Amino acid sequence: MTITQALQAWLALEHEAVWLYPVLGARRDDLVDRATASFEAHRDTRDALVTRLRALDVVPVTAALAYTVGPLSTTADARTAAQSLESRIAAACLALVGLAEDALRRYAVSNLTKAAVAEQTWGAEPRAFPGLP
């Protein structure tokens, strides 16, 4: 995997997050505040990644029309979907961590931590090694 591929894989997940959290907030009144905050954070990260990729003369991956996230009919379902997505984002960031150097590596480490903590805010328990299998 190259750095560009790792950035694209991460961006694809940020697109999914920008799609998921409004859906989740619309379906679960009790989670709307948290979903709004998550949406805003991921929207900013998505935009930053798009800018990074364009600066590399790379065409950023685009969002899908919709994503398969499982049922969101209960609060527990919604939390599970959010945890799963944040966990996958952590793994994507960790892949980039292993490839990047200097400022990009620090950026990836910082976002790995953000994703790990976000996973926790959606109900996950602390783990020794977020992002690792």
The beta strand positions in 1-133, using DSSP E, are none
Among 1, 73, 76, 106, binds other proteins (CB under 8 A): 106
- Minimal distance in Å, beta carbon 7 to other proteins? 16
**Using the 8-state DSSP alphabet, how is residue 30 labeled?**
G
Q: Is 132 in the site for other proteins (CB under 8 A)?
A: yes
In three-state form (DSSP H/G/I as H, E/B as E, the rest C), the secondary structure along 40-105 is HHHHHHHHHHHHHHHHCCCCCCCCCCCCCCCCCCCHHHHHHHHHHHHHHHHHHHHHHHHHCCHHHH
Residues 57-86 that bind other proteins (CB under 8 A): none
- What are the two backbone dihedrals, phi and then psi, of residue 38, each rounded to the nearest 5 degrees? -65, -40
Q: Measured from the CB atom, is 68 or 129 closer to other proteins?
A: 129
**Which listed range, 4-12, 13-21, 43-51, 114-122, lies at the site for other proteins (CB under 8 A)?**
114-122
Site of interaction with other proteins (CB under 8 A) = 90, 94, 97-99, 102, 105-106, 108-110, 112-113, 115-117, 119-121, 124-132
